[in-house]
Amino acid sequence: MPLLLTRKDVEKVLTMKDAIAAVEEGFRQLALGNVIMPQRTAIRISEHHGIHLGMPAYVGGEEGRGSLALKVVTVYPENQSKFGLPTTIGTLLLNDPRTGALVAIMDAGFLTAMRTGAVSGVATRYLAREDARSVGVFGAGVQARAQLMAMCEVRSIERALVCDPWIEGRDKFATELSERLSIPVEPTDDPRACVDNDIVVAASSSGEPIFEGSWLAPGTHINGIGSHSPNTRELDTVTIQRSKVVPDLAAACLVEAGDLIMPIKEGAITEDHIHASLGEVVAGLKPGRESDEEITLFKSVGLAVQDAATAAQVYDLARAAGVGVEIEI
């Protein structure tokens, strides 16, 4: 019978380390041609400033290790301030790829935050300097938390700053993450101070650039994950021009990522400015960081392969731990 996993169940079994391992393998299989992943369907609910997404994927590869999943997720940036609800709410169906049988229904809110943090962790592993020790985070929500957790998993981070206009949120973020990660995390209202770090994370809900690309020091690595529509951006054109750009998937970002689409429309860059998709770097088909002076940028719009790979990991961990409830449908 299918296993029902609540958010608390997923939180019990899924660590950032496990999520990073699952996502890294998923991207390797993607680059090797072992993933089937249609373009996600999107319904924009303009009057409520939300979006509804359907994200199916099959991850093949090693025999017996496949994953077949469909995630339905909504993103409503005003949820927290208006209703006290998470920005991202989702549910995932996991099927046995050998038979098509449903094996699990799981909450995908925590899973989405973790897999989004995990993919930035994978990108940081390949693109950030080995000696990166500080992080500046724009945003103080669930996604921003997962991002900083992932940075600390793949680099020996010693300090962090969080910048967000929501004062209460950034103060709470700083207090909670300082305790959880055992590093000093300081709130700031100075975006330039936030940029003055080895790694910069853009995880805001802004539709306009949140810092100036001219502020970036050589050797900085940037993870851009907050903006995921053609008409919004967190990163300005100068940032894109100065960076070695590695998106999660070039084809997806050229359709959905305003951070890249807008500079192309301006004539500031061409599609050739994109160095490689992340999977190509993970699989060793393209190089990652090649010098300590490079500014590197990982741009993510989120891919269903992340969900499918992470969900399979969650299911295995839950079965092993005896977590969840079997249900009859």
Decide: 37 and 304 in contact? Cβ < 8 Å.
yes
Establish whether 71 is a catalytic residue. Answer: yes
Which residues, other chains included, contact 32 with Cβ-Cβ below 8 Å and sequence gap of 6+? 61, 279, 283
Catalytic residue among 8, 12, 17, 71: 71
Residue among 138, 140, 96, 90 nearest 115 (CA): 90
What is the 3 state secondary structure string of the chain? Answer: CCEEECHHHHHHHCCHHHHHHHHHHHHHHHHCCCEECCCCEEEEEHHHCEEEEEEEEEECCCCCCCEEEEEEEEECCCHHHHHCCCCEEEEEEEECCCCCCEEEEEECHHHHHHHHHHHHHHHHHHHCCCCCCEEEEECCCHHHHHHHHHHHHHCCCCEEEEECCCHHHHHHHHHHHHHHHCCCEEEECCHHHHHCCCEEEECCCCCCCCCCHHHCCCCCEEEECCCCCCCCCCCCHHHHHHCEEEECCHHHHHHHCHHHHHHHHHCCCCHHHECCCHHHHHCCCCCCCCCCCCCEEEECCCCHHHHHHHHHHHHHHHHHHCCCEECCC
- Determine the Cα–Cα distance for residues 152 and 79; give it in Å rounded to an integer: 28
Distances (CA, A) of 43 to 40, 49, 193, 229: 10, 11, 37, 12
So which residues are the catalytic ones?
71
